[in-house]
């Protein structure tokens, strides 16, 4: 294995593991001690402003409705999420964040924003573009190789 490949492998593995660990520690030390990383990502998938159906959220998280229902039950009990019937079709259940859920969303969003800013701090515009292309290429590899859905495509389409 060439030195560059070895270094890249180590950086990717260590960075991925560190992000998960730091994210969990940040939650445990902050005001949201009762949330897991999985729960904060569920809050993130629900979003800030518009109630969403369980199907929409489960598709975004790539989990079953049953798995999401369990997570939502915990988040409702903890006061982060509330369920409501859809006005147009009362059979459809929507979920939305409570005030507490929106605060958790914002704190988590700031964590990610700080991480991205620290990553590109000191890089030129061209270096930032190379980093973006490299990470996009890595992301595409994983999606293709492991048949993951393309979340970034959806976000790019919204830009």
Domains of the chain from N-terminus onward: 3-121 (1.10.10.10)
pLDDT at res. 148: 66
> Would you say the pTM of this structure is higher than 0.75?
yes
Residue listed under structure tokens 């993130």: 44
Question: DSSP label at 96?
Answer: E
Phi then psi dihedrals of residue 55, to 5 deg: -65, -45
Where the chain has pLDDT below 50, the residues are 151-159
pLDDT at res. 26: 81
pLDDT at res. 157: 45
pLDDT at res. 23: 85
Query: pLDDT tens digit string along 29-71?
Result: 778 889 998 999 999 999 999 999 999 999 999 899 999 999 9
Give 84's strand partners.
Answer: 94
Question: DSSP label at 61?
Answer: H
pLDDT at res. 24: 84
pLDDT at res. 55: 93
pLDDT at res. 156: 45
pLDDT at res. 135: 92
User: What b/e sequence results for 46-68 when a residue is b if at least 16 CB atoms lie within 10 Å of its CB, and e otherwise?
Assistant: bbeeebbebebbbebbebeeeeb
């Amino acid at each position: 294995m060439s030195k560059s490949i070895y270094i890249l492998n180590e950086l990717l593995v260590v960075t991925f593991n560190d992000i998960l660990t730091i994210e969990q520690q940040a939650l445990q030390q902050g005001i949201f001690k009762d949330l897991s990383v999985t729960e904060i990502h569920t809050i993130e998938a629900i979003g800030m402003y518009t109630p969403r159906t369980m199907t929409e959220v489960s598709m975004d998280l790539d989990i079953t409705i049953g798995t999401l229902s369990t997570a939502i039950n915990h988040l409702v009990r903890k006061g982060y999420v509330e369920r409501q019937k859809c006005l147009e079709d009362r059979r459809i259940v929507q979920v939305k964040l409570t005030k507490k859920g929106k605060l958790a969303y914002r704190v988590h969003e700031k964590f990610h924003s700080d991480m991205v800013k620290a990553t590109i701090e000191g890089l030129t515009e061209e270096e930032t573009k190379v980093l973006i292309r490299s990470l996009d290429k890595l992301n595409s590899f994983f999606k293709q190789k492991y048949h993951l859905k393309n979340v970034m495509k959806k976000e790019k389409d919204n830009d």
